[in-house]
Structure formats: C-alpha cells, structure tokens
C-alpha cells in the first residue's frame, strides 16, 4: 500500500525540519505544498528551505515556476499527482508538506474541475476590478451566483474581500454561463495512496514569537533587496502576498520601513490563524506539539501503515 505522509500547520512552526527528518528515515522524497514557494523570484520572503536542506533530500515544486507564469491550484494538482505516481514506482512512501490548505486538499481529495476560461474575460474582469474595486466583483457574484454569494456571506465572509478568489468566481460564471457553485462538489478523482495526516501546533504566543523571529531573519537575509527586484511587477498575482505587499507600500513611500516590517509580522500572524482554522476542520489530522520528538511521529506513522 502506498502512503502519503502529510505535514501541515501554521507558518514558522517547523514543518520543513520535520519533513526532512522523516524523509531521511524513510529514504523518500518531498512534495512541497506551499503556493508561494513555487516562484523562483520569491526565495527569501517565502522561507524556502535552505541550500543544505534542499541538498539533503530531493524536493519537488520549490522555485519551479516564475511569477510571470500562470499557475493555478488545478495545475498543481495535476503535476503533483503525476509526480507522486512516478515516486511510487520505486517507493511506498512520499511526504507532502506545506501550509497552503487549498493545495493540500487538491492533492489529497482531488479538485473540482472547471472549464477553460477565455483569457480575454479574465483580462476584462481584472480591468474592471482595477477601476471599480472589490465592490464590482461582489456585485457580479451576487448577481451571477446568488446562492454561493449568500453562503460566503454567512460562512466565509473574508473570502468576499479576497480579490483573487472573487475574480476567479466571477470569471467562471461569465466564461461558462453557469454559477460557480455548480462546479463544486462533483465526483472527486480517486487516489492510489492513503494519507497519514500530521499537524504541528503550539501555543499562540509561541507561534507569534517564531513568526517575529522569522521575519527578522528574512530582513537580515535581504528581503528588502528581493522585493525591490520584483517591485516593477508588483501587480502580478504571485506578488499579492504577505512580505512583499508591505515592502511595496514602503517603496511607494506610503509607510516607513520599520512600519512595513511590523505589518509583515502582524499580517503573517493573521495568516497563521487562518491556516489553523482551515486545517482544524479536518478531523483526520493528528495534532502534535511542535517540540514532539521525531520518534513519536515514527511510532504514529507505523501504527497507521
């Protein structure tokens, strides 16, 4: 039987070090499931594993794309499953690690299939959003998929403020002529592996301290310089993320560098809360304190195999 050891949890909790320790033990390879680490122009700000870590174990889907490429969660699902099929030819175990809940779910459960959308529709929606803001997207979704809009209003209101997600909903509605929700919860693809789900957690103040330390390290490693290099392309979707947006505001002379750094820390803490909320919904995840010895994880994995 093939198993996919899946390690999830909030940012800066120690997922990378655990995944490498387990990969060393099982002599297997790692599939990265961090939607920001795909992009080679965003090395420091996405906390990509260091050179020594990458040299120790073969990693996949780290800095394998450019910010100038269009890359969706559906694309990742197809490529990740193809890579797993390849890895399982020689090994019964692979490791999936990351904090991007949507991407983890896409690998484990399959992703809803949507029709191809004409790029001109996407471009027009983006142009209208630039002119009219998030209200334009909200109004369109309410009109084109009333039930889904109402569901989000009640269950997930923050999504209504997310321009990338909202643009996707509206483009599917306009491009297909059908409500976005009509494509949800269709029959998922079967998987040829059994997941073993591990979550890392800690007291909130510990997570926040670790985030603050990580941001300080990123700045010392040259995050400002990295952000300056991609600043001319700041409107790209890949760069609409914590760590870059705040520095772009500094480069736009809207805020001081010190304030930008504090905003990165604050927004990363908020992001970590959303990560935990997402993963805690999955009752199949076994949660461990971030300081748990590797031997305990190995015992748990052997029991599940």
Q: pLDDT value at position 258?
A: 97
Q: What is the mean pLDDT of residues 111-131?
A: 87
Is 15 labelled a binding residue? yes
Helix, strand and coil in the chain, % to nearest 5: 55, 10, 35
What's the mean per-residue pLDDT of the chain?
94
Tell me the pLDDT tens digit for each residue of 177-200: 999 999 887 666 689 999 999 999
In this prediction, residue 73 carries a pLDDT of 86
Q: Please report the pLDDT score of residue 164 as a whole number.
A: 87
Structural domain boundaries of the chain? 3-111+188-304, 119-183
The span from the CA of 250 to the CA of 259, in Å, is 8
Task: Supply the pTM of this predicted model.
Answer: 0.80
Check the annotation: does 178 bind a ligand. no
Mean pLDDT across 151-161: 90
Residues 6+ apart with CB under 8 A from 155: none
Q: How confident is the model at residue 66 (pLDDT cuts 50, 70, 90)?
A: very high
* 12 labeled part of a ligand binding site: yes
Q: Is 11 annotated as a binding residue?
A: yes
Give the model confidence (pLDDT) of 246-305 as tens digits: 999 999 999 999 999 999 999 999 999 999 999 999 999 999 999 999 999 999 999 998
Q: What integer pLDDT is reported at residue 187 of this predicted model? A: 61
Answer yes or no: is pLDDT of 112 > 80: no
Residue 211 has what pLDDT?
97
Report the distance separating Cα 96 and Cα 196, nearest Å.
10
Residue 57 labeled ligand binder = no
Q: What's 3-111+188-304's CATH class?
A: alpha beta
Report how far residue 115's alpha carbon sits from residue 21's, in angstroms, rounded to the nearest whole number. Answer: 40
Does 241 carry a binding-site annotation? no
Residue 170 scores a pLDDT above 70: yes
Q: Give the Cα separation of 113 and 115 in Å (integer).
A: 7
DSSP H helices in 156-238: 163-176, 204-221, 223-230
- DSSP character string of 93-125: EEEEE-S-HHHHHHHHH---------HHHHHHH
Tokens of 144: 């084109």
pLDDT band of 85, cuts 50, 70, 90: very high
């Amino acid at each position: 039987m093939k198993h996919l050891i899946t390690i999830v949890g909030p940012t800066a909790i120690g997922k990378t070090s655990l995944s490498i320790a387990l990969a060393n033990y099982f002599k297997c390879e790692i599939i990265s499931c961090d939607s920001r680490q795909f992009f080679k122009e965003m090395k420091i700000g996405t906390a990509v594993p260091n050179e020594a870590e990458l040299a120790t174990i073969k990693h996949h889907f780290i800095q394998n794309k450019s910010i100038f490429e269009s890359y969706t969660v559906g694309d990742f699902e197809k490529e990740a499953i193809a890579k797993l099929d390849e890895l399982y030819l020689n090994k019964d175990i692979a490791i999936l690690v990351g904090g991007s809940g949507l991407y983890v779910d896409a690998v484990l459960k399959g992703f809803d299939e949507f029709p191809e959308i004409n790029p001109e529709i996407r471009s027009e929606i983006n142009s209208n959003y630039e002119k009219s803001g998030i209200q334009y997207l909200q109004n369109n979704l309410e009109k084109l998929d009333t039930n889904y809009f109402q569901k989000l209003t009640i269950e997930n209101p923050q999504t209504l403020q997310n321009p990338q997600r909202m643009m996707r909903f509206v483009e599917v509605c306009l491009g297909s002529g059908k409500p976005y929700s009509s494509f949800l919860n269709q029959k998922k693809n079967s998987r040829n592996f059994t997941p073993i789900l591990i979550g890392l957690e800690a007291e909130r103040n510990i997570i926040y301290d670790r985030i603050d330390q990580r941001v300080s390290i990123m700045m010392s490693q040259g995050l400002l310089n990295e952000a300056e290099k991609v600043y001319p392309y700041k409107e790209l979707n890949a760069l609409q993320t914590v760590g870059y947006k705040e520095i772009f505001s500094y480069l736009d002379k809207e805020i001081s560098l010190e304030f930008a750094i504090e905003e990165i820390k604050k927004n990363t803490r908020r992001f970590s809360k959303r990560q935990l909320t997402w993963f805690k919904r999955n009752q199949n995840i076994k949660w461990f304190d971030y300081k748990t010895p590797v031997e305990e994880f190995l015992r748990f994995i052997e029991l599940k195999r």
